[in-house]
Amino acid sequence: MKFTPTDIEGAFVIDPEPHLDERGFFARQWCARELDEHGLLGTIAQISMSQSHARHTLRGLHYSVAPRAETKVVHCVRGSIFDVLVDLRPGPQQARWVSFVLSAENRRMLYVPEGVAHGFLTLDDATEVQYLISEFFDASCARGVRYDDPAFGIRWPAPPAVIAPRDASYPDFTP
């Protein structure tokens, strides 16, 4: 696996390195040892999946707080997404965002560290996303920030056609 740092400290793009033969390819998507070698958390408590029917469905921006703060590895297994990370941690990077296109075709993954909100906009109908998560879900620790919060200024490729009321109504971010 190839690990490429992003402009958010501790967040990485992970590209599988496929081994090709006449049958197709084989590639590793998860290796706790390789994550550890990069100083990343390699624990998985649960694996979750989302499926979005319509193009331009927005999910997020979500994160969790202690004692169940999560690290995630996000991977699009069908369709494609415009994936966004927002650093909420105190310091000079706070409110910085980065984006990447993840797709079934490019097989890229994103490593999302604790303290960083995550969300995405689907670019295709019938998109599926897989999440490898370091902690068990605890609703009392779940949080979110609004996708269009002026504190971040995220430039989405299209307005959301579908969004959960909860995701559309988070209050303005305050550090």
Burial class (CB in 10 A: 0-12, 13-18, 19+), 4: exposed
Would you mind telling me the total number of residues written for the chain in this entry? 175
The 3-class secondary structure across 109-155, one letter per residue, is: EEEECCCEEEEEEECCCCEEEEEEECCCCCHHHEEECCCCCCCCCCC
Identify the active-site residue in 53, 56, 131, 170: 131
Identify the active-site residue in 19, 38, 62, 118: 62
- Residue 62 annotated as catalytic: yes
Q: Of 38, 6, 32, 31, whose CA–CA distance to 16 is shortest?
A: 31
Sign of the alpha-carbon dihedral angle for 34, 38, 44, 48: negative
Active site residues: 62, 131
